[in-house]
Amino acid sequence: MFGFHYRLERSAIGLVAFIVLVASIGGFIEIAPLFTIDETVEIAEDMRLYTPLELAGRNIYIREGCYACHSQMIRTLRDDVDRYGPYSLAVESSYDHPQLWGSKRTGPDLARMGNKYSDAWHVAHLYNPRDLVPESKMPAYRWLLRDQLRIDDLGGHLAAMRAVGVPYTDEQIAFATQDAYGQANPDSAEASGVMERYGAATNVRLFDGTGPLTDMDALVAYLQMLGTLTDVAHEEQADEVE
């Protein structure tokens, strides 16, 4: 084997050709599954879109590097399923650009975090994690409760998502700013429009417990949505049990 390698190194053209061959094999293995993607990705008729506020929260999640310590991919292993819930399905990430599956679990997996804890729990945990989990290594994100959320550009964010395949309508893009405000202000006139455009199951409430719309509102709204866009994973698990 080493003799072959030494001889190959003496020929620049041969070495380049061998590298291209090996890279082509790896590339084919990665690309080939995409030809059967319609057969491997599940169909979820009840799948709903991220609301503008949830999308803003996802952007904050990425901005603060939360994906570096938390995965969003429950494996098919028994330990994972027992701890976190039904294993993740491809369709649940179909509106994610980029996907946040991750592989590092300094903290727990968040794929089924939605509505597992109260909004107040999330606010307190993000403000100072050690108030709730004394051994936590997670940093405090106190500024989220202080910083006002920018919502005037959310229509552009939705339009960008539509450009990569997320089926936002013209109406949803046009009302993005109002819907972001309405989702975190349940008593406002804008609140009803959120459920009309995104479904009755959408969380509409005062997420951070205060009046002004903050980054905390958006991030908590995003965390409370995780794993709730569709029930297909729970349905599949129920079918397997039967």
Q: Read off the pTM.
A: 0.85
Measure Cα distances from 134 to 143, 190, 221 in Å. 21, 39, 24
Name which CATH class applies to 52-241. Answer: mainly alpha
23-32, 117-126, 135-144: the lowest-pLDDT one = 23-32
Question: Where are the chain's structural domains?
Answer: 2-40, 52-241
Cα separation, 10 vs 93, in Å, equals 47
**pLDDT per residue over 37-87, tens digit each?**
677 777 888 899 999 999 999 999 999 999 999 999 999 999 999 999 999
Angle 192-48-101 (CA atoms, 0-180°, nearest 5)? 130
Tell me what pLDDT residue 232 has. Answer: 87
